[in-house]
Structure 1
Amino acid sequence: MPRLFVAIRPPAFVRERLLSIMDGISAARWQSEDQFHLTLRFIGEADRRVANDVHTALQGVRHPPFEIALHGLGTFERRGTPAALWAGVTQHQPLRELHKKVDQACQRAGLPPERRAYLPHVTLARLNRASGPVAPVIEGMGGFTTAPFAVDVFHLYESILSSGGSHYVIIETYRLK
């Protein structure tokens, strides 16, 4: 069964900016440029019927285009140890509204509501106990930020797992209007 999620793909200039800061943490598994995305809703494994229902529901999402920028770096921790390094997002409100509409569409397709708090971010690296210190990298970046960029589409992705990590494929695109 395909493993699905809904996300925004940052434009090329933002992806290039992210690539330019990805250094300085030993044993980090850095994301590749084609893995950069800002998740709106994780769906998980879905059979063809559910995938079709999600697609149909997402076609009905209505939201005006908006602008956001990436700002700040942080980590998610697992048992007190950094597990992921991420870039945060400014101007959350339009993004949060879109997230809510996407979640409601997924519920109309028969999925349970998202239970986790929504923290918009772009994952830069996966970390483990062997990874070097993260704090100096975050401090060294100071006020990491990107120029604002327009969000006028979002995508339904399939995550394909392999021994080399996940590979993400856009399977549908939805225009904001």
Structure 2
Amino acid sequence: MPRLFVALRPPPPIREGLLDIMDDVPQARWQDDDQLHLTLRFVGDVEPWQGDDLAAALAGIHAPAPTVALAGVGRFEHRGRTDTLWADVTGHDALAHLARKVEQACQRAGLPPEQRAFRPHITVARIARSAGAAPEIDHWLGRHARLASAPFTMPHLILYESVIGRAGATYEAVMRWPLGTAPDAPGF
């Protein structure tokens, strides 16, 4: 069963900047260049025919390519322990609009509605449970709090497959669709 998600990919100079901030947190599993993306919708394990239906529904999305910028860093916590470090982005309204379109496509493909709130970010590290309260995490957050970039555009909607292996997950782009500046259809 393929494990899928829908995302946007930052351009190479932005990914290079993100790779430069990956340091000094023990037991962090830093993302590599191929893993840097902004998830619009995690889909999960699906039957191959569901993946085909999803791809067909995603192909029908017409939306502007979002222009965003890096704007600081943050963390996600689980039970009081940091489990993820991420880079924040501006342009939440444009991203939320696109995420709603992706959600509608997922539901047209027969997938259950997403229950989690959409929080646009680019994951830079996963943190081992044993390091989730390490002081180095707070130091890293303080050191990179002013992370910023010039505005950049993410021009493609990408359907990824996440392949779990011994070394962790690798992400393979299954399909890609250009986003443009054409106005949305009336009524949407």
Q: 2:73 is matched with which residue?
A: 73
> Any idea what the Cα deviations from partners look like across 1:29-76, whole Å, max 9, x if unmatched?
111111001000111001111000000000010102231112111110
Identity %, equivalent residues:
47
Task: Give, in whole Å, the separation in 2 of the partners of 1:66 and 1:16.
Answer: 20
Conserved in 1, the CA contact under 8 Å of 2:10 and 2:153?
A: no
Residue 125 of structure 1 aligns with an amino acid whose one-letter code is A
Task: Give, in whole Å, the separation in 2 of the partners of 1:129 and 1:116.
Answer: 22
Task: Give, in whole Å, the separation in 2 of the partners of 1:11 and 1:52.
Answer: 27
Task: Give, in whole Å, the separation in 2 of the partners of 1:161 and 1:66.
Answer: 29
- When the two structures are aligned, how many residues end up with a matched partner? 177
Indicate the SS of the match to 1:130.
helix
1:21-170 correspondence runs (5 A): 21-131=21-131, 132-133=134-135, 134-170=137-173
Residue 141 of structure 1 aligns with an amino acid whose one-letter code is H
Question: Which segment is superposed worse, 165-174 or 123-132?
Answer: 123-132
Per the TM alignment, residue 146 of structure 1 is displaced from its structure 2 partner at its CA by 1.7
Per the TM alignment, residue 24 of structure 1 is displaced from its structure 2 partner at its CA by 1.1
Normalized against structure 1, the TM-score is what? 0.97
Residue 64 of structure 2 aligns with an amino acid whose one-letter code is P
Normalized against structure 2, the TM-score is what? 0.91
Indicate the SS of the match to 2:130.
coil
Task: Give, in whole Å, the separation in 2 of the partners of 1:166 and 1:141.
Answer: 26
Conserved in 1, the CA contact under 8 Å of 2:11 and 2:154?
A: no
Residue 101 of structure 1 aligns with an amino acid whose one-letter code is K
Question: Which segment is superposed worse, 68-77 or 122-131?
Answer: 122-131
Q: Where in structure 2 are there 5+ consecutive unaligned residues?
A: 181-188
CA RMSD of aligned residues (A): 1.0
Indicate the SS of the match to 1:88.
strand
Task: Give, in whole Å, the separation in 1 of the partners of 2:155 and 2:165.
Answer: 31
